[in-house]
Structure 1
Amino acid sequence: MSKSKRLMELMMTVNRMRKFTVKELAAEFGVSPRTIMRDLQELGELGVPLYSEVGPHGGYQVLKERILPPIAFSEGEAVAMFFASHALRHYQSLPFEAEASSALQKFYFYMPGDVRDRIDEMKNRVDFHAHNRQQEVEGLGILLEAAVRQRVVTIRYENKQGDSERSIQPVGIYASNGFWYCAAYCFLRRGFRLFRCDRMRSASFDKTGIKPLDLRLIHLGNWEDVGREERIEARIVAELSREGVQRCQGELSHVPFIEVREDGTGRLNQCVPESELPYFAKFFLGLGSEATVEEPPELIARIRKLLEELTAKYGTM
């Protein structure tokens, strides 16, 4: 095996292993311990963060902030990765904002000149638009780390009733229509809730000793189904025009269940928490004639009340 190939495979091996000894690596690669020592020194000079421990149980470790081994991309793959990261610039807040910017710069800087020219030509030809909200969101990194590591977070949350402090265990975060949302178990309400991240005035890891729940099997794809039988829900049924279908699919935080017909019109039939009916009343009022709500009666009554308030407000002008 050539030295360059051995160094490449050695870099991937040490990144994969938590801890290793020179003797183990020498046996795996079929070279002398002295050769492995020289190779490890070269990897250190290349930027691989190695840490050595002396003693009978010593060895080498790769620090937590390790450098990943090189990956060979085709030109098309590199361009696709660049624009996938480039699209994130529309979000004012990201859980890995600095890392995304750094990765984008590395992709662009190390590409051949002709590939950079191609990207420059494409920048004004393709884009991925997202709603640009002005609210900055802090704590996205904490919420994401807590979801992955099964930790409890203390938040100061703002709603219509004012600010409240509560402990939550995040399931995950996602962006929709320019807003960041956090699905989490709320220890105050003793159930799963959806929180707007821009309404979190602060977020920090819990220091009161609340024992985390085992939510390893709960994720963004199924959290709403957990404990659904304990929630009070209402079924919304509405006829939608073609534009109404597109608006519902594009603007609602979750893509609703819509039966779309061949002509593009559709019928929405979906259960939602009863507490969200005020939101849907305003949403369907904004759709105007593009939607006709048939159920539930409570939602129709709320829409009528909003219309009466608007009529009273603008009818005297």
Structure 2
Amino acid sequence: MSKSKRLMELMMTVNRMRKFTVGELATQFGVSSRTILRDLQELSELGVPLYSEVGPHGGYQVIKERVLPPIAFSEEEAVAMFFASHSLRHYPLLPFETESSSALNKFYYYMPGDVRDRIDQMKNRVDFFTPTRQKESPYLSVLLQGAIEQKVIHIQYDSREGDSCRLIQPVGIYANNGFWYCPAYCFLREDFRLFRCDRMLAAQIDESAEPLDHRHVHLGNWETFSKRQRVDVRFYVELTKVGMQRCEAELCPIPNLVVCPDGSGYLDSLIPQSEIPFFASFFLGLGTDAIVKEPQELVDQMKQMLARIQSIYG
């Protein structure tokens, strides 16, 4: 076996074994212990995080941050991976901000020169914009750790009623329209709630709190486990072509939109009654590009908002 092939297989082996001795590796690869020691030294210089312990129960082990073996990408795959990571730069904070930046730099540096030239030419030709928000979300990593490891998080939260301290058990985190959100079980309300991550003034894992078994709850189904009875109302809104484009660009998740051949269309969907204040403001912002037919409650709220605006501007 050639040295390069042995190093490649050795990297995959130590990642898989996590803890091993030089003798074990020498027997497995059919080489001397001295050769294995030289190979391990080379892997360490390449960035594989190895740690050695002396004594009768000693040996080598790979510390927590393991290095993955090389993966062969086609040129198109490499470019797609680069821009997928590159698009995240518009978010001021990520739960893995430092790691994503480091990975992107490594990815770019080790690409062939012609592929780097192609990426450089594309940087000013393609982008993925995200609204820039003034408030930051510095506790994304803590919330994500809590969701993965089923931990209870103690947070200080800036709500409409003022600052409050709560214990929550996160389901996960997701980004929408420039904001980060965290669905979580709130021990104060004894139910699931949706929290804005930028409104969390502090967050830390509370090891003394007993978590609930929510391994079956995830971002795709958490709302179904809420004790609150969701009341849906039928929305029917006629939209111009511009109104359709605005709805598709700004509403998430996108409700049931029906497109007509000329690009106009209508919204015909069941939407939670609790969302009426949001949609009153949204459709009012569309002006004449949206005509609300149902529900009447939505129409009434839009009229009230218009009356308040008229009173401000005379």
Please say whether Structure 1 and Structure 2 have the same fold, judged by a TM-score greater than 0.5: yes
Equivalent position amino acid for 2:235 in 1 = V
| Unmatched 5+ stretches in structure 1 | none
Q: Is the 8 A contact 2:233 2:271 kept in 1?
A: yes
Aligned length: 312
SS of 1:172's partner is coil
C-alpha distance in 2, partners of 1:53/1:192?
46
Deviating more after overlay: 121-130 vs 280-289 = 280-289
Q: What does the per-residue CA deviation read over 1:203-233, in whole Å, with 9 as the maximum and x for residues that have no partner?
A: 21125x2211222221111112223x63342
CA 124–220 in structure 1, closer or farther in 2 if over 3 Å, else same: same
CA 132–17 in structure 1, closer or farther in 2 if over 3 Å, else same: same
Report % sequence identity: 63
C-alpha distance in 2, partners of 1:147/1:2?
44
CA 188–293 in structure 1, closer or farther in 2 if over 3 Å, else same: farther
SS of 2:220's partner is coil
C-alpha distance in 2, partners of 1:261/1:2?
64
CA 30–243 in structure 1, closer or farther in 2 if over 3 Å, else same: farther
CA 258–19 in structure 1, closer or farther in 2 if over 3 Å, else same: farther
Deviating more after overlay: 261-270 vs 63-72 = 261-270
Q: What does the per-residue CA deviation read over 1:113-155, in whole Å, with 9 as the maximum and x for residues that have no partner?
A: 2222211111111111111222222111111111111111111
Match of 2:232 in 1: 234
Q: Is the 8 A contact 1:137 1:198 kept in 2?
A: yes
TM superposition shift of 1:262: 4.7
C-alpha distance in 1, partners of 2:260/2:183?
32
TM superposition shift of 1:14: 1.1
Match of 1:149 in 2: 149
Equivalent position amino acid for 1:181 in 2 = Y
Matched, 1:258 2:257: yes
Q: Is the 8 A contact 2:237 2:294 kept in 1?
A: no
Match of 1:280 in 2: 279
TM superposition shift of 1:103: 1.7
Runs ≥4 residues deviating over 6 A: none
SS of 1:230's partner is coil
C-alpha distance in 1, partners of 2:229/2:83?
41
Superposition pairs for residues 24-103 of structure 1, below 5 Å?
24-103=24-103
Deviating more after overlay: 290-299 vs 275-284 = 290-299
Please tell me the root mean square deviation across aligned C-alpha atoms, in Å. 2.2
Superposition pairs for residues 5-20 of structure 1, below 5 Å?
5-20=5-20
Match of 1:305 in 2: 304
SS of 2:193's partner is strand
TM-score by length of 1: 0.89
Equivalent position amino acid for 1:291 in 2 = A
Equivalent position amino acid for 1:166 in 2 = R
SS of 2:174's partner is strand
Equivalent position amino acid for 2:16 in 1 = R
Equivalent position amino acid for 2:299 in 1 = I
Deviating more after overlay: 241-250 vs 27-36 = 27-36
Q: What does the per-residue CA deviation read over 1:168-211, in whole Å, with 9 as the maximum and x for residues that have no partner?
A: 1111111111111111111111111111111111221125x221
SS of 1:282's partner is helix
C-alpha distance in 1, partners of 2:238/2:10?
59
Match of 2:214 in 1: 215
| Unmatched 5+ stretches in structure 2 | none
Superposition pairs for residues 100-179 of structure 1, below 5 Å?
100-179=100-179
TM superposition shift of 1:156: 1.4
Q: Is the 8 A contact 2:156 2:166 kept in 1?
A: yes
TM-score by length of 2: 0.90
Q: What does the per-residue CA deviation read over 1:3-41, in whole Å, with 9 as the maximum and x for residues that have no partner?
A: 210110110121123323334434443444444333223
